[in-house]
């Protein structure tokens, strides 16, 4: 009875929060509601017994995405203020704007409904009792080099997908860097003395935590994405407190770190192709070591990419 | 129910009390400073009791250590964030609530 009550409340609050996050007039409050929504979604994943997803949702979906949207909000307000200072009377009236907003909302709503229909159709057209690939994947688990089935799928059985995902992350940061120069998050160091004294021991702890998540990913929930998110959080804290400045000016080092994941993954794929004849088909008995090396490189790239996206552009000395 | 389980359940009662108290204070207190005070004090004590309760149910020493680490991190982070928010509020000239003010 109590678990059902908890799940029911969770579903209800998630739906209400999602609605509020989309419709709140106060954009700042909307962002906070979005972050809270992410945390509750992580709890929902936990209730569905998917702790890997819960970790990723809490760290990436709620924490880092929340920080990204917050920084976008700050930039938007700054631009609005600058625009308001330049022109006293706007060209487009508020009514025209509202109508345009309504139209785009209707289009978005229709698209979402269509998507929902397609997904519902796809879910309903599945055979009711399907064994899926679970049994097969679990049967081959001893060959995968790890004991956590999620990591086995991500880094061995479907390693190709993960390679492409890390490629997408690289493309994202390249795109952002090509578009504009990053803003420096303003921080007055004298006012942040307490923050600095916290960061002095929290940052090393976060780095150790990222490594721990990477290592534990072989046998328990964790892995490169969760560890990378932790690393990105550490980087973000460092940037906000002004500690990351000197690091960012070592451009070559940063660029190497950003591409490391794709490079190592790609080279590993090529070497494995020459060795065993299959792309990303690791040599028998050595899969665990291969996965660890690839994940370590991916961890660095994921952490740097997610953390540096916050700057909203390429870091440059002013 | 073993003695440890009973003790663990007993510790969850004050944990719940402090969390509820902190939440009520967040909703009912008049200004930012008092709300910050309530959140960072009451909730951290509540979390402390919850962590103690969970420690009694932990399977090994590593789990106890991890739980202690979580509590320490939350304590340090929330007091730092409380300080930063409070300082920013002072900088913006937000007056603390007093009985005289309307």
Mutation pick from A67, A198, A230 vs chain B, by most beta carbons of B within 10 Å, is A198
SS3 letters across A132-152: CCHHHHHHCHHHCCCCCHHHH
In the predicted model, what is the mean pLDDT of residues A271-278? Answer: 83
Residue B76 contacts A, CB cutoff 8 Å: yes
Is residue A231 pLDDT above 50, yes or no? Answer: yes
Query: Mean pLDDT across chain A, nearest whole number?
Result: 85
Residue B66 contacts A, CB cutoff 8 Å: no
In the predicted model, what is the mean pLDDT of residues A61-75? Answer: 89
* Three-state DSSP state, A293: helix
* Token code pair at residue A24: 């709140």
Phi-psi region of B101 (alpha: psi -120 to 50; beta: other; left: phi over 0): beta
Does a structural domain hold residue B80? yes
A181 phi and psi angles, rounded to 5 deg: -85, 140
Contact, A226 vs A217, CB < 8 A?
Answer: yes
In the predicted model, what is the mean pLDDT of residues A197-213? Answer: 90
Sign of CA dihedral B88, B94, B98, B102: negative
* pLDDT tens digits, one per residue of B8-61: 999 999 999 999 999 999 898 888 898 998 888 888 999 999 999 999 988 888
A30 against A86, higher pLDDT: A30
Q: How many CB atoms lie within 10 A of CB A297?
A: 22
Res A149: pLDDT: 83
Does a structural domain hold residue B102? no
Residue B10 contacts A, CB cutoff 8 Å: no
A65 against A91, higher pLDDT: A65
* pLDDT tens digits, one per residue of A135-169: 878 888 887 888 888 888 888 888 888 889 999 99
| Residues B73, A202: C-beta atoms closer than 8 Å | yes
* pLDDT tens digits, one per residue of A33-53: 999 999 999 999 999 988 888
Residue in chain A closest to B83 (alpha carbons) equals A194
Q: From CA A33, how far away is CA A29, in angstroms rounded?
A: 6
A178 against A158, higher pLDDT: A178
In the predicted model, what is the mean pLDDT of residues A2-31? Answer: 91
DSSP E strands, chain A: none
Residue B77 contacts A, CB cutoff 8 Å: yes
* Three-state DSSP state, B18: helix
Residue A205 contacts B, CB cutoff 8 Å: yes
Residue A191 contacts B, CB cutoff 8 Å: yes
* Three-state DSSP state, A248: helix
* Token code pair at residue A157: 């059985």
Is residue B7 pLDDT above 50, yes or no? Answer: yes
Contact, A303 vs A235, CB < 8 A?
Answer: yes
Q: From CA A136, how far away is CA A61, in angstroms rounded?
A: 30
Residue B90 contacts A, CB cutoff 8 Å: no
Is residue A65 pLDDT above 70, yes or no? Answer: yes
In the predicted model, what is the mean pLDDT of residues A105-114? Answer: 92
Is residue B100 pLDDT above 80, yes or no? Answer: no
In the predicted model, what is the mean pLDDT of residues A231-236? Answer: 90
| Residues A194, B76: C-beta atoms closer than 8 Å | no
Residue A176 contacts B, CB cutoff 8 Å: no
Contacting residues for A57 by C-beta, under 8 A, at least 6 apart: A38, A41, A42, A45
Sign of CA dihedral A197, A199, A202, A207: negative
Does a structural domain hold residue B99? no
Q: From CA A147, how far away is CA A149, in angstroms rounded?
A: 6
ipTM computed for the complex: 0.81
Whats the size of chain B, residue-wise? 102
Residue A193 contacts B, CB cutoff 8 Å: no
What's the pLDDT band for A90 if we cut at 50, 70, 90?
very low
* Token code pair at residue A43: 């709890």
Q: From CA A50, how far away is CA A199, in angstroms rounded?
A: 31
Q: From CA A244, how far away is CA A235, in angstroms rounded?
A: 7
- A257-266, A274-283, B6-15, B54-63: which has the minimum mean pLDDT? A274-283
Residues of chain A found within 8 Å of residue B80, distances taken between Cβ atoms? 194-195, 198
| Cβ contacts from A onto B, under 8 A | 14
Q: From CA A267, how far away is CA A193, in angstroms rounded?
A: 44
Radius of gyration of the CA atoms of chain A, in A: 23
Res A93: pLDDT: 47
| Residues B84, A202: C-beta atoms closer than 8 Å | no
Res B20: pLDDT: 94
Whats the size of chain A, residue-wise? 318
B12 phi and psi angles, rounded to 5 deg: -70, -20
**Which residues 20-59 of chain B have a CB within 8 Å of chain A?**
none
What's the pLDDT band for A305 if we cut at 50, 70, 90?
very high
Res A145: pLDDT: 80
Domain that holds residue B63: 3-91
Please tell me the total count of domains within chain B: 1
Give the closest-approach CA distance of A32 to chain B in angstroms: 15
- A161: exposed, middle or buried (Cβ count in 10 Å: 0-12, 13-18, 19+): exposed
| Residues B73, A205: C-beta atoms closer than 8 Å | yes
């Amino acid at each position: 009875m109590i678990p059902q009550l908890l799940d029911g409340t969770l579903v209800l609050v998630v739906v209400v929060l999602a609605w509020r996050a989309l419709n709140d007039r106060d954009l700042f409050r909307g962002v906070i509601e979005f972050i809270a929504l992410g945390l509750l979604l992580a709890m929902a994943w936990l209730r569905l017994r998917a702790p890997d997803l819960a970790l990723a949702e809490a760290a990436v979906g709620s924490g880092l995405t929340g920080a990204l949207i917050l920084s976008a909000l700050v930039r938007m307000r700054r631009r609005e203020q600058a625009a308001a200072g330049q022109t006293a009377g706007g060209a487009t009236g508020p009514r025209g704007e509202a109508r345009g907003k309504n139209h785009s909302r209707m289009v978005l709503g229709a698209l979402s409904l269509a998507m929902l229909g397609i997904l519902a159709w796809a879910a309903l057209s599945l055979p009711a009792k399907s064994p899926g690939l679970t049994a097969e994947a679990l049967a081959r688990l001893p060959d995968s080099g790890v004991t956590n089935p999620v990591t086995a799928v991500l880094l061995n059985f479907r390693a190709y997908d993960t390679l492409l995902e890390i490629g997408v992350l690289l493309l994202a940061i390249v795109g952002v860097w090509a578009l504009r120069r990053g803003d420096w998050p303003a921080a007055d160091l004298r006012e942040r003395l307490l923050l600095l004294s916290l960061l002095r021991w929290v940052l090393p702890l976060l780095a150790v935590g990222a490594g721990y998540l990477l290592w534990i990913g072989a046998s328990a929930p964790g892995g490169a994405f969760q560890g990378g998110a932790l690393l990105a959080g550490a980087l973000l804290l460092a940037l906000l407190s002004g500690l990351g400045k000197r690091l960012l000016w070592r451009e070559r080092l940063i660029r190497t770190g950003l591409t490391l994941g794709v490079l190592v993954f790609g080279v590993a794929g090529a070497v494995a192709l020459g060795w065993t004849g299959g792309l990303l088909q690791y040599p028998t008995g050595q899969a665990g070591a291969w996965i660890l090396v690839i994940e370590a490189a991916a961890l660095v790239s994921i952490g740097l990419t997610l953390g540096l996206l916050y700057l909203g552009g390429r870091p440059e000395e002013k | 129910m073993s003695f440890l389980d009973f003790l663990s359940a007993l510790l969850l009662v004050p944990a719940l009390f402090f969390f509820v108290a902190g939440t009520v204070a967040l909703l009912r207190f008049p200004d930012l400073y008092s709300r910050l005070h309530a959140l960072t004090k009451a909730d951290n004590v509540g979390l402390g009791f919850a962590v103690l309760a969970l420690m009694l149910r932990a399977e090994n020493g590593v789990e106890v250590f991890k739980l202690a680490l979580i509590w320490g991190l939350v304590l340090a982070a929330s007091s730092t964030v409380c300080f930063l928010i409070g300082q920013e509020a002072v900088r913006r000239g937000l007056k603390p609530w007093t009985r005289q003010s309307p």
